[in-house]
Amino acid sequence: MMNTIHLLNGPVDLNDRGSAVLCAMEKELAQWMLDDGCQYFDYDYQVLGVAGEFDSYRVSPDGVRESILAPNLVVKYMVRLRKALADAERGAWTWCHLWMDASDLELHAEFDWMREPLFDDGRRPPSDDSCAKELEWHPRSVEYIPGWMAAGLARHRRVPAAVDVDVLELFERLFPDPEDVDGDRLFVWPDTRQGVEERMGRVLGDWLPGTGAQRVDIVSDVVDTYEVTDTRLRMRDGASVVVTLTEPEAWFWAEKAREAMVDPVRGAWTHAHLWMDVDELVLHSEYDWNTRPPFLDSVSETVRSSWLANELRRFPRTPENTPTWLTPATRSTESGDGPDSSPDVYDPGVISMPAPSPYGFSPVPQVAERLAPDYSAGFVTAVRRALARPLRFRGIASRREFWFAYLAWMLFYAVIAPFIIAAVVVADKLLDDPNAPAIVGVTGFGVFLVVGAVYILPAAVRRLHDGGRSGWWMLLPLIPYAGIVLIVFLALEPRPWLWRPQWVTDRR
């Protein structure tokens, strides 16, 4: 039984679980060779994360060597073998070699924990995502992470969407409210500093341990009602990972905290830093009243002046406590030549879209009544947001929200169409009424069209708003050959400020 077992760069000894799995595999493989008449079987397998590749061959009874698909029993045991031989310090092996000769029917095996898998006949190294998944599923001590795996992990962490947080799901679980049918209360923060920090501490304390990170940092820069928040994880190896928020508007905590902490001399703070370490799960905070928000460089001079003037109108400061970057707004406000101080008045001709930044989401978030688009929505999130907004034409939807929802609608059609056709055929054969097939068919496809009218049509209108256009452009397909123009409009870059500037700049 099991004549040769080599554990290369792995544990010193074979554990009981691994031995049991190998014994069971040896028994089944030996029976397969007897049934198949195979004289020799060889199997080479390399794997990392979700990627795996094998090469196997057999020697037939007449001595011919031929490549074959591995028997199902071998494939079945590979997953079990990785789990069984996984080591707390070294993780799981990345390469194995199995062989058996019909002369003794004994299983021989080699496993290597440090070898780099090379796929496509050695031409393709493992992906960065595979390196990250491997360490997520089979953690290793730092000294047992080979250089090629560490390099892949580091590259993977530099991808902005390395961590995706479904804020809405997180808040719904932590703060259930049966009376809040549409979930609007999830976006309302307490009106005291203590309340805001207690809520944020509870959220981070629940979420952080599951990320595998050592620490989370949240940096918020605010002026007037415009807030940009940068959320990052600091991993145990020191790498910084940007966090992408699926419902970023729910994360805007700073407005209430600023109002609660207004100082009659210094006004409201403009920069805040919250952090929590996984070892203590205690929220720490620091605030600064004079830091200039960096996003001010990404907007037009008129918009910037309006924001700064409104900031001083809402949160007055004494002259000696007004930083230099706020003083131009002071002069324009005092002279009466500055922009209108009303937060509801905006000139659509001068507002400009903030440029892309290193933040975890696009800085277009301040909108009323949960009108904000989700520019990082995945398929599930996009469908859920569409289903949560039936017949809701007001607001904005990102390209990802609309096109994922449209894809789901097409998949829905693909699922129900065969049933509708089958129902039409059955009605034609079993019912005496000659109109029955037509009625069944119209009813079935009517359901499909009603779903589109209730969910997809409003999503398309909101997508047009996101592109800076009126929803009435949805009537374009009524003109022959004009439907292609509508498709182009639905795929264009976001420019919501051109349609309803207040949806982007208001915060009610």
In angstroms, the CA 307 to CA 348 distance is: 15
Write down the pLDDT at residue 189.
74
Distance of CA 175 to the CA centre of its chain: 22
Neighbour count for residue 47 (Cβ, 10 Å)? 22
Look up residue 401 and give its two tokens.
């929200």
Write down the pLDDT at residue 337.
39
Write down the pLDDT at residue 79.
81
Write down the pLDDT at residue 41.
92
In the chain, domain spans: 4-141, 163-335, 379-505
Write down the pLDDT at residue 273.
92
Write down the pLDDT at residue 40.
92
- Could you tell me the fold of the domain covering 4-141? 3.30.500
Neighbour count for residue 408 (Cβ, 10 Å)? 20
- Which residue in the block uniquely carries the two structure tokens 């007037």? 224
Residues 6+ apart with CB under 8 A from 264: 316
Please, which residues bridge with residue 7 across strands? 111
- Global pTM reads 0.40
| Pairing verdict, β 240-245 and 163-165 | parallel
The sign of the dihedral angle between the CA atoms of 356, 376, 233, 47 is negative
Query: Please, are residues 167 and 248 in contact by the beta-carbon 8 Å criterion?
Result: yes
Express each pLDDT in 454-469 by its tens digit: 889 999 998 888 888 8
Write down the pLDDT at residue 42.
92
Q: Which residues of the chain have pLDDT under 70?
A: 1-4, 10, 12, 156-168, 179-187, 236-239, 244-252, 328-374, 496-508
Look up residue 465 and give its two tokens.
């708003």
Query: Please, are residues 392 and 415 in contact by the beta-carbon 8 Å criterion?
Result: no
Write down the pLDDT at residue 347.
30
Write down the pLDDT at residue 348.
28
Q: What is the dihedral of CA 448, 453, 459, 460, to 10 degrees?
A: 100
Write down the pLDDT at residue 12.
63
